[in-house]
Chains A and B, each alone.
Chain A
Amino acid sequence: MSYLLAILLINLFVLLLCSLLTIAGRLLQQSGRVLLKVNERESEVDCGQTLLASMAQQGTFLPAACGGKGTCGRCQVKIEMGGGHPTALERLQLTPAQIAALMRLACQVRVREDIRVMVAAELMTARAYRARLLRSEPAGPDIRLLSFALDADQRLEFLPGQYMQVVFNQPWERVLRAYSISSAPSLQNEFSLDVQRIDGGLVSTYLHELQPGSVIEVTGPFGEMTLQPQHNETTLVLVAGGVGLAPIRSMIAQLQQHGFKSPVLLFHGARSRENLYFESYFRDLARNFANFCYFPALSQPMLEDGWTGQKGMIHQILELQLQSMPISEPGAAAFICGPAPMMQAVTKVLVAKGLASDRIMTDPFDFNI
């Protein structure tokens, strides 16, 4: 009897504390509306939430690969009025010069008063979309190509190289992950993502198990590594590591539509042949277009792969190839997408071969923060 009473007492106590916290939360919650001005767009938003959430409520979506935890540092905005002082986390993420220039992380700023924010003009084009999965095809052991369709009246306008953020709503938090768009921008009502399943990865596992017909929420497009119209006329070096091929695929699709007017060199590095997806497609492309060259390389080929091509890390292969075909053209540019160490090594090689560092565009894709 005494034990039962003890259990009852514990439960009662927990219930009491929970109700106390809930009531206190309601009473203490800041309510009311404040004015939020983003560039020239002005609207009223709820008070008390983060600036990231307020801006989403207003229709301005910022990249936030970490989902608003303040660890990726991508939701940088300039706050001209309101917003309080930078938090300890922001002081870690931002340099003193950035803080002096009024930069803040939107996910760490609480909206408590009227606030005026400046964001880069290209971020104003990002929107939230509902995307329905059309196809989910395996492309490698852990890689799937997912094709999505938007609602009939929606159009997605992006530049090759940009990425979308997939929103995965858990009951207790909203998880966001960035995936590069791998389809050509000409397909305005559709887009595709190349998703590699990461061990223990929440969103990648969810996307891999998604059935055709399912609807997900995405925001975007984001990203500064983009293929511009002038790139059609210049020599391009495209370097991809593993599933970092996704944005490069979008670029190649665009360049192919223009018939590869100038030389395009694609270097794709993967661990084993299974991970070297789209190999035969690119080999065919290289046969059909004289200006397109394809250099695949495996870092750890297995015996059963029957691999007779290049072996080694992709930056070594790049160095080797560029010895026989130097890039002398002044307008030449490079796009690199892959794990951070690979991008550093490749950048080093390209700079050594005479490519200006401001013409080397990179996009790290390991966002598992």
Chain B
Amino acid sequence: METTSLMPLLGLLFTAAISENVALYYFLGMCPLISISSDLKAAFQMGITVSLVMLITVAADYAIFHLVLRPLGFEYLQLLFFILTIAAVTQLLEEFLDRFFPAIHAAFGIFLPLIAVNCAILGVSMFVVLREYDLVSSLVYAAGSGLGWLLVICLLAALRRRVEMSSVSPHLGKTGITMILAAIIAMAFSGLAEVVVRGGI
């Protein structure tokens, strides 16, 4: 009984993280993906921050949509409300970390304020509403998307270390080669999806 209810959630987690990766499939959150992936440590910190904020904001946005906007018939205001919520949550999280976990706050540094304008976070909140997920599925989807984004930015950062040591056409530039790398990872991820579908998940 339990396995049947868990399987779709596992599938959702995998889809969100790999086959429909928020960065590579939907092209969301690309700016930090390109700019911060030059350093593996910073990329990992940014990825963790995005995952954490994504999980919290999806829960908050889910509550706002289902408890306020839908009962009042103001679904069309979701974009505005979601943006405001994300900004407030990031601010709150920053103050909370600053007070109780100064070491983590110092490590996150400038990444937290940057996240307020990360479209991957807004995108996941919007998808959850659009696809009418329930609370558990929403959280699983958010966790999967966050992990997927973390995975992609870390992969890119690791690859870019190698790129720096190889000869890349100067016309391509750093951004160009990063986009090509992202495209190759995207193809690999979509191939993985096929394997998993055939495998029966």
Interface residues of A (CB under 8 A from B): 2, 5-6, 9-10, 13-14, 17, 20-21, 24-25, 28-30, 84-85, 87-89, 110, 112
Contacts and interface: CB of A to CB of B under 8 A. Distances in A.
Contacts of B88: 17, 20-21
Interface of B: 42, 68, 72-74, 77, 80-81, 84-85, 88, 91-92, 95-96, 98-99, 102-103, 106, 109-110
Contacts, number: 48
Contacts of B95: 24-25, 28
A88 B109 contact: yes
Contact of A10 (B80, B92, B102, B103): B80
Contacts of A85: 103, 106
Contact of A30 (B42, B84, B99, B110): B99
A114 to B, nearest CB: 15
Nearest to B100: A28
Top 3 A-B pairs, shortest CB-CB distance: A28-B99, A17-B88, A28-B95
Contacts of B73: 2
A75 to B, nearest CB: 18
Counting chain A CB atoms within 10 Å of each CB, the highest count among B88, B96, B103 belongs to B88
A88 B107 CA distance: 8
Contacts of A84: 102-103, 106
Contacts of A2: 73
Given A6-B77, A13-B81, A24 B103 contact: no
B84 A13 contact: yes
B98 A87 contact: no
A5 B69 CA distance: 12
A28 B95 CA distance: 7
Contacts of A9: 68, 72, 74, 77
A107 to B, nearest CB: 14
A14 B84 contact: yes
Given A25-B95, A110-B102, 18 more contacts: A5-B74, A9-B68, A9-B77, A13-B68, A14-B84, A17-B84, A20-B88, A20-B92, A21-B92, A24-B96, A28-B96, A28-B99, A30-B99, A84-B106, A88-B110, A89-B109, A89-B110, A112-B102
